[in-house]
Amino acid sequence: MNLLQALDLIKDPNYTTIEQSKHLIDLGLPKESADMYYKLQYKDVCAGAYTGLDECPKEGTYYLDEPLLRHTNPSGTYTIENGERIDLSGVKDKLKKTDIPCWTVGQLIKIYLICNPYESDDDLIFILTSGVEVPDLCHFIITHLEYIKPNFDKVNEII
């Protein structure tokens, strides 16, 4: 079985669930390395509008089913803070207190490759191509990260 055939066996989604995201945070993965996030919403009973929040109200809150991509500011963007011009090019959106970070499969693979303490990634390729069915690729990579117990200090390379 080749890698493309193996990837066909893997089920969606192609991003972490809320539970998987919380588990990655517990493992020590920096939240800022996430390339997506789950946004907290609430229904304004008076206006019937749905609004994003910084703080969590007591009633009517829920997380969006689908995570949102974190945007990277394009080159040339800036802000003025205390009279100083601050370059924002290449800076990702900040996560709010109530946001739950979410990682795509691609981001998890980058993190795995950066943090793998072994010389080779042959073990990851072997397991992927062995024909063993996994619930989803995120689950597989998270399980493998637990096994290799990586030092996530190197993740700053992709933040």
Q: Record the pTM.
A: 0.70
**Ranked by mean pLDDT, which of 95-109, 125-139, 143-157 comes out on top?**
95-109
The answer to which of 14-23, 56-65, 80-89 has the lowest mean pLDDT is 56-65
Residue pLDDT, tens place only, 84-120: 888 777 677 788 888 999 999 889 988 988 887 666 6
User: What is residue 37's three-state secondary structure?
Assistant: strand
User: Residue 46: what pLDDT?
Assistant: 47
User: Residue 85: what pLDDT?
Assistant: 82
Residue pLDDT, tens place only, 16-44: 999 999 999 999 999 999 999 998 876 55
Which of the pair, 45 or 42, is modelled with greater confidence?
42
Angle between helices 137-148 and 105-115 (to 10 degrees): 20
* Cα distance between residue 50 and residue 58, in whole Å: 15
The answer to which of 60-64, 90-94, 126-130 has the lowest mean pLDDT is 126-130
Q: How many CB atoms lie within 10 A of CB 118?
A: 10
Q: Is the pLDDT of residue 67 over 80?
A: yes
User: Residue 47: what pLDDT?
Assistant: 46
- In degrees, to the nearest 5, what angle opens at C-alpha 137 toward C-alphas 136 and 140? 95
User: Residue 48: what pLDDT?
Assistant: 46
